[in-house]
Amino acid sequence: MTTDGPFHFTDDRPAGDDSTLVVRIPANINRKRKMLALYSGQLRFPAYFGWNWDAFEECLRDLSWLDGVRQVIVVHRDLPFAESPEQQEIYLSILRDRFGIDQGPRVTVTFPRSAQAMVVRTLEHYDAQS
């Protein structure tokens, strides 16, 4: 496994215990609504979730409703939003910004090793535009 900032790049399946919640993101996700639905369902977002990137970021930063969960591991099968670089940049920046927040469960984000170079390039591009 290799690490680049908040992300881990591995082809292994993550291990956890009873206090770990694993969020699985399947391959070929290219629609924001589909991605938000995956997170909303697996992380049990509150009913007030607003179905946009700002609301996603707010819920991901909180996670206080996940009683007994000390760690969340987000496992990607590939790099989402391959057909939409702008959505990909926003998504990755939200995940990166969640890293290091001491509130709530620790969040670990994994991608396949094959996605590492693209993740780094995408975030470098996003940062240069910001």
pLDDT in tens, 77-120: 999 999 999 999 999 999 998 876 777 898 999 999 999 999 99
Question: Kind and range of the H or E element at 85?
Answer: helix 85-98
pLDDT in tens, 30-83: 999 999 999 999 999 999 999 999 999 999 999 999 999 999 999 999 999 999
pLDDT mean across residues, the chain: 91
Q: Which domains does the chain have, with CATH numbers?
A: 2-129 (3.30.370.10)
pLDDT at 127 over 60: yes
Written as six digits, the tokens of 129 are: 């535009």
Q: Tell me how long the chain is.
A: 130
Query: Which pTM value belongs to this model?
Result: 0.90
